[in-house]
Structure 1
Amino acid sequence: MRVDSHQHFWNYDPQKQDWITPEMNRIRRNFAPGDLYPLLQDAKIDGCIAVQADESLRETDFLLDLADQHEWILGVVGWADLAKDDLDEILDNYSQNPHLVGFREVLQSKDPGYMLRKDFIRGIHKLEKRGYTYDILTFPHQLSAALDLVKNCPNQRFVIDHLSKPYIKDGEWKEWKKAMIPLAERELIHCKLSGMITEADWKKWNPSELFPYLEIALELFGPERLMFGSDWPVCLVAGEYEQVFQVVEDFSNALSAGERDRIMGETAAEFYQIN
Structure 2
Amino acid sequence: MLFDTHLHIVDRKSLNYPWLEGAGTLNRDNLYDDYAREAHRCGITGALHMEVDVAPADIEAETAYVKRQAVRPGSLICGAIASCRPEEPGFEAYLERNLADPFVKGFRRVLHVVPDDVSEGDLFRRNVARLAGTRLTFDLCMLPSQLDRAISLIDLNPYVRFILDHCGVPGIKDEAWSPWSERIGELAKRPNVTAKISGIVAYANPDRWSVETLRPYVEHVIGSFGWERVIWGSDWPVCTLGGGLSTWVAATHALTSGCSADERESLFQRNARQLWQL
Q: Please list the CA deviations of residues 164-191 of structure 1 after superposition, one character each: whole Å capped at 9, or x if unmatched.
A: 1111011111311111111101111111
1:158 aligns with 2:141: no
* Distance (Å, rounded) in 2 between the aligned partners of 1:106 and 1:237: 19
Match of 1:46 in 2: 45
Which aligned pairs between 1:34-113 and structure 2 lie closer than 5 A? 34-55=33-54, 56=56, 57=59, 58-69=61-72, 71-113=75-117
> Would you say 1:263 and 2:267 are equivalent positions?
yes
Percent same amino acid at aligned positions?
A: 26
Please give the secondary structure, in 1, of the residue aligned with 2:200. Answer: coil
Contact 1:101 1:273 in 2 (8 A): no
Residue in 1 that maps onto 2:31: 32
CA-atom RMSD, angstroms?
1.9
Query: Structure 1 pair 34/163, CA: closer, same or farther in 2 (3 Å)?
Result: same
Q: Secondary structure at the match of 2:102?
A: coil
Code of the residue aligned with 1:34 in structure 2: it is D
SS in 2 for 1:47: strand
> What does residue range 1-275 of structure 1 map to in structure 2 within 5 Å?
2-12=2-12, 16-19=17-20, 21=22, 24-25=24-25, 27-55=26-54, 56=56, 57=59, 58-69=61-72, 71-274=75-278
Q: 1:68 to 1:81 in 2, by over 3 A?
A: farther
Displacement of 1:162 after TM fit? Answer: 0.5
* Structure 2: runs of 5 or more not aligned: none
Q: How far 1:15 sits from its partner (Å)?
A: 7.0
- Distance, in Å, in 1 between the alignment partners of 2:221 and 2:104 is 27
**Offset of residue 270 of structure 1:** 1.6
Q: Is the 8 A contact 2:160 2:192 kept in 1?
A: yes
Alignment partners' CA distance in 2, 1:197 and 1:120? 31
3-state SS, counterpart of residue 201 of structure 2: coil
AA in 1 matched with 2:151: L
How far residue 19 of structure 1 moved from its aligned partner, in angstroms, is 4.2
Structure-2 separation of matches of 1:43 and 1:221? 26
What is the total number of aligned residue pairs between the two structures? Answer: 272
CA–CA distance in structure 2, aligned partners of residues 272 and 260 of structure 1: 18
My pick for the range that moved more, 161-170 or 244-253, is 244-253
Matches of 2:21 and 2:195, distance apart in 1 = 25
Paired residues of 2:133 and 2:159 also in contact (CA < 8 A): no
